[in-house]
Structure 1
Amino acid sequence: MHAIAAFEPLPIADHDSLRDVEVPDPTPGPLDVLIRVEAVSVNPVDVKKRSGGYGRGAVGDEPRILGYDGAGTIVGVGAEVEGLAVGDEVWWAGDAGRQGANADLQAVDHRIVSRKPESASFADAAALPLTALTAWEGMFDHLRISREDTATMLVVGGAGGVGSILTQLAKRLTALRIIATAGRPETEAWCLRMGADAVADHHDLVASVEKLAPAGVDSIFSSYTPGNIGHYAKLIKPFGGIVSIDGTDESLLPLFSKSASMHWEYMFARSRYGTWDIAEQGRILDEVAELVDRGDIVPTATEHIAAFSAAGLREAHRLVESQSMIGKVVVHR
């Protein structure tokens, strides 16, 4: 089959950073579905893995096939697959320890796969799984937010992929007040379109948020954590909670006097460790698909590249690396 692979860490401007290759079709296991991939999106995890930031992982010395958001059609099912069948149109975020979706075919554990929204194209669907799962797990698994919660949440990186869907989920499924951060007029407008109640200037984070929430915020969802712990310590209320999706190696001591809690959200944890509740990701995607089909969630894909090739994916990586993206970029057939 045709695939797009990374062989060694190279800058995205290098033609060999991502290459078109021919590789054997994947062999699905008993719990896997085999999917014909129609569209993928590119996330920061793709960029970090391509540039060597996460190592080669379980794939070893094979060419690394990236791609951790996908939409496509099931063409084969393992002996132990339940609830899905050949011909189903599905979406998924995959497993960082296996080969990814940047290929004609991908084998994926069926428990982390769901039928895609009927109302969404493959391209628009591919933009949502990883970010929706990250946002959902951060809010409901880590922060234990209830559907009746009226607290104030600060969303740092409100116009990014995760911020865009988190704001929508929070406004549809909870009573939270959402303050999103942005740094340009166009990103501020996007945050408000996603449903944010207010927008703070990330260039002057503390002063800007304090004007909007003088008593502080109850929780923080952080897409850009390094260098911000001190700021978060000033803004978080006592006993508040913070979720970081990018991690940081700086001291968390500034949070001590507030008795604040810090959570790391890693969407691949369930698939990486085969947790007892791994099927929760499929269930979450089912619920998000219903929200999309009801019109409660709008697509977050803002860039569509109709070139399922190394050239198309290099352009998508370039856009993500520019750190100026609003929403998500998708690559489709």
Structure 2
Amino acid sequence: MKAIGYKKSLPVSNPESLIDVELPQPVATGRDLLIKVKAIAVNPADYKVRASMPPTDGEVKVIGWDAVGEVVAIGDAVTAFKPGDAVYYAGDITRPGSNAEFQLVDERIVGFKPQSLNDAEAAALPLTAITAYELLFEHLNIVKQAADAKTKSDEVILVTGAAGGVGSIFIQLTKAITDATVIATASRESSQAWVKKLGADYVVDHTKPLPAQIDALNIGSVTHVASLHSTDTYFEAYTEVLAPFGKIAMIDDPESLDVSKLKVKSLSLHWEFMFARSMFNAKDLIEQSKLLNHVAELIDQGHIQTTIGKNLGVINAANLRIAHAELEEGRSIGKIVLEGF
């Protein structure tokens, strides 16, 4: 099968940083699905792994953690899928990724592809959707709003890095199935317009002091923070704007945080890493399949839109190097996808 991988961790400007290779087609056993990959998206995890995790000498490492495809074979313990099913998934960071014609993925982390989206549009969603969903409901414990609810929630969520991939899904999920108020951070005019379009109730500029701007909104204290970028920069501001017993959930990698600042208000700090379930074969691994199916329903009902930004065409090493370079340089708007081999 065709695949794209690397033998050494090299700068993306080096033609050998990602190479086209031929590899044996894997065979499905157990709970694995053999999926024929049709479209993929690129995430920061891709270039971070490429740059920092070299394979064993002589081996080719295949990465990629966002894909849409068709199930072509199933293991003998599979119960939820059959050959011919259209699926979407992020995969498992400890196994070969989606930058290949065929991929093995545990059925418990796979969802049925949204019917209203094409392959490229759907490929932009899995990793960010899983991350946003787990942040919202498992770490921040935001209450899902019943359709017949008579009272309005007093939950107020501050979302920093709101215009990015995770933030764009997080805002939509929050407004689709909760009654929480969303304060999004964005500085550029285009970013502010984007988060408003997605449903943010208020927008503040993260290049200016946050507490004064939030206080000026006159909506009370923030109860939850979804910190999607630069947590160490805004950490002190979080402790100032949060109400007692508030929650902070983050996805980035701050060098250090003074958690003693959380004590006086009894604030809690949570970390979201969507690969944790598959890395440690968690007992509730199937929750990722369930949430992907829920997100697909919300998309097909018109509550959530794809965050695709650019389609670079065929899945090959040359196009993937371009995608990695754009992500590394911060030039991309929306998700970068590739389609077909």
1:125 matched to 2:122? The reply is yes
Secondary structure of the 1:24 match is: coil
CA distance in structure 1 between the partners assigned to 2:209 and 2:112 by the alignment: 39
**1:156 CA displacement:** 0.8
CA distance in structure 1 between the partners assigned to 2:35 and 2:213 by the alignment: 46
Residue matched to 1:97: 94
**1:321 CA displacement:** 1.6
Relative to structure 1, is the Cα distance of residues 109 and 201 closer, same or farther in structure 2, using a 3 angstrom cutoff?
A: same
**1:60 CA displacement:** 4.7
1:154 matched to 2:161? The reply is no
Determine which of 271, 278, 281 is the counterpart of 1:264: 271
Instruction: Give the stretch that moved more between structures: 167-176 or 312-321.
Output: 312-321
CA distance in structure 1 between the partners assigned to 2:218 and 2:325 by the alignment: 36
1:239-254, aligned counterparts within 5 Å? 239-250=245-256, 251-254=258-261
The one-character-per-residue Cα deviations of 1:100-122 (angstroms, maximum 9, x if unpaired) are: 00110100001111110111111
CA distance in structure 2 between the partners assigned to 1:210 and 1:322 by the alignment: 34
Residue matched to 2:286: 279
CA distance in structure 2 between the partners assigned to 1:107 and 1:329 by the alignment: 23
Determine which of 85, 88, 91 is the counterpart of 1:88: 85
CA distance in structure 1 between the partners assigned to 2:274 and 2:310 by the alignment: 23
Instruction: Give the stretch that moved more between structures: 175-184 or 20-29.
Output: 20-29
1:13-52, aligned counterparts within 5 Å? 13-52=13-52
The one-character-per-residue Cα deviations of 1:212-258 (angstroms, maximum 9, x if unpaired) are: 35743111111112332222212222111011111323122222222
Residue matched to 2:173: 169
Gaps of 5+ in 1: none
Residue matched to 1:184: 188
CA contact (8 A) 1:142 1:263 kept: yes
Residue matched to 2:199: 195
CA distance in structure 1 between the partners assigned to 2:252 and 2:43 by the alignment: 12
The one-character-per-residue Cα deviations of 1:251-279 (angstroms, maximum 9, x if unpaired) are: 22222222110000010111111111101
CA contact (8 A) 1:187 1:326 kept: no
CA contact (8 A) 1:38 1:71 kept: yes
**1:17 CA displacement:** 1.5
CA contact (8 A) 1:150 1:174 kept: no
Gaps of 5+ in 2: 146-152
Relative to structure 1, is the Cα distance of residues 231 and 325 closer, same or farther in structure 2, using a 3 angstrom cutoff?
A: farther
Residue matched to 1:308: 315
Amino acid at match of 2:7: F
TM-score of the superposed pair, with normalisation by structure 2: 0.92
**1:297 CA displacement:** 0.7
Instruction: Give the stretch that moved more between structures: 292-301 or 21-30.
Output: 21-30
Secondary structure of the 1:68 match is: coil
CA contact (8 A) 1:41 1:69 kept: yes
1:255 matched to 2:252? The reply is no
CA distance in structure 1 between the partners assigned to 2:18 and 2:273 by the alignment: 25
**1:329 CA displacement:** 1.4
Secondary structure of the 2:303 match is: coil
Secondary structure of the 1:187 match is: helix
Secondary structure of the 1:125 match is: helix
1:128-139, aligned counterparts within 5 Å? 128-139=125-136
TM-score of the superposed pair, with normalisation by structure 1: 0.94
Secondary structure of the 1:233 match is: helix
Determine which of 202, 221, 226 is the counterpart of 1:221: 226
Tell me the matched-pair count.
329
Secondary structure of the 1:10 match is: coil
Secondary structure of the 1:239 match is: strand
Amino acid at match of 2:223: D
Secondary structure of the 1:100 match is: coil
Amino acid at match of 2:134: E
CA distance in structure 1 between the partners assigned to 2:91 and 2:176 by the alignment: 26
CA distance in structure 2 between the partners assigned to 1:15 and 1:226 by the alignment: 35
**1:29 CA displacement:** 2.6
Instruction: Give the stretch that moved more between structures: 161-170 or 299-308.
Output: 299-308
CA distance in structure 2 between the partners assigned to 1:118 and 1:60 by the alignment: 40
CA distance in structure 2 between the partners assigned to 1:179 and 1:319 by the alignment: 28
Instruction: Give the stretch that moved more between structures: 152-161 or 253-262.
Output: 253-262
Q: Radius of gyration: which is bigger?
A: 2
RMSD between aligned residues: 1.6
Secondary structure of the 1:204 match is: coil
Amino acid at match of 2:316: S
Relative to structure 1, is the Cα distance of residues 111 and 136 closer, same or farther in structure 2, using a 3 angstrom cutoff?
A: same
Residue matched to 1:332: 339
Instruction: Give the stretch that moved more between structures: 221-230 or 29-38.
Output: 221-230
Secondary structure of the 2:291 match is: helix
Residue matched to 2:75: 78
Determine which of 289, 309, 315 is the counterpart of 2:296: 289
CA distance in structure 2 between the partners assigned to 1:119 and 1:183 by the alignment: 32
